[in-house]
């Protein structure tokens, strides 16, 4: 338990250090979820934070807390509109430390509907380490999409691929979700699209289920 608490505190400090100071004054929405994998050792808890327009910057953060001594993984995504539908984007990433690397690039709001369904595409050609060194072998393409369905059902998915890997285009990670919202709760099927190795562009599917609660 002490280990988990230390991980949680360190991760939250990392999240806070990456956000504009005024974000602390803004309303933050979020949820806590538990993801149950077909491989029990790969199950974990995840905290998700969503914050609104702060000086025209929008974004979200998540923090995954792993079992045992596996540490944690998190990411913050910040977007600021440049022209209609096109945004500057920054993605600080933290792997068992407050900051590991940061991706910089653009995102495109390709589709956005009245019922809040969307398709967002990301191009992140620049990745800088915590020591401010550029990684020439990292050029990431990504997507996120959601379709809201009747009766509070929804489909959601995201993923990223590194097309500059020395071994060839490499799938990084992604998820698919078929879920149902009931008041503050959400649950459903949440398979992970997992990296198969360097130079492998086709992901491996890992079956999972999830349950989450808003706070």
Sorted by where each begins, the domain ranges of the chain are 1-77, 100-208
Q: How much of the chain exceeds pLDDT 70, in percent?
A: 87
For every residue of 103-163, DSSP letters joined together read EEEEEEEEEE-TTS-EEEEEEEEEEEETTS-B-TT--EEEEEEEEE-GGGEEEEEEEEEET
Sequence-ordered list of residues with C-beta below 8 angstroms from that of 10, at least 6 positions apart, any chain? 72, 97, 98
Mean pLDDT of the region 49-72: 87
19 versus 130: the higher-pLDDT residue is 130
What pLDDT is attached to residue 122?
98
Mean pLDDT of the region 59-85: 93
Q: If residue 2 lies in a helix (H) or strand (E), which one and from where to where?
A: helix 2-18
pTM: 0.85
* Averaged pLDDT of the chain: 89
**Each residue of 147-167: pLDDT tens digit?**
999 999 999 999 999 999 999
What pLDDT is attached to residue 16?
46
Q: How much of the chain exceeds pLDDT 90, in percent?
A: 80
Are 172 and 124 in contact, with CB atoms under 8 Å apart? no
d(CA 159, CA 171): 8
d(CA 194, CA 59): 24
């Amino acid at each position: 338990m002490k280990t988990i608490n230390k991980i949680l505190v360190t991760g939250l400090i990392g999240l806070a250090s990456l956000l504009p100071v005024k974000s602390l004054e803004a309303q933050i929405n979020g949820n806590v979820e538990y993801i149950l994998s077909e491989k029990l050792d790969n199950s974990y808890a995840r905290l998700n934070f969503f914050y609104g327009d702060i000086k025209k910057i929008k974004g979200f953060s998540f923090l995954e807390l792993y079992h045992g001594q596996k540490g944690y993984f998190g990411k913050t995504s910040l977007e600021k509109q440049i022209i209609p539908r096109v945004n500057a984007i920054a993605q600080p990433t933290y792997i068992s430390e407050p900051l590991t690397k940061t991706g910089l690039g653009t995102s495109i709001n390709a589709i956005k509907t009245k019922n809040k369904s969307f398709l967002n595409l990301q191009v992140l050609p620049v990745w800088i380490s915590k020591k401010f060194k550029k990684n020439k072998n990292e050029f990431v393409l990504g997507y996120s999409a959601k379709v809201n369905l009747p009766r509070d059902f929804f489909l959601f998915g995201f993923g990223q691929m590194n097309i500059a890997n020395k071994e060839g285009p490499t799938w990084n990670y992604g998820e698919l979700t078929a879920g149902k919202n009931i008041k503050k709760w959400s649950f459903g099927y949440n398979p992970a699209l997992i990296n198969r190795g360097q130079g492998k562009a086709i992901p491996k599917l890992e079956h999972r289920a999830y349950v989450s609660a808003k706070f």
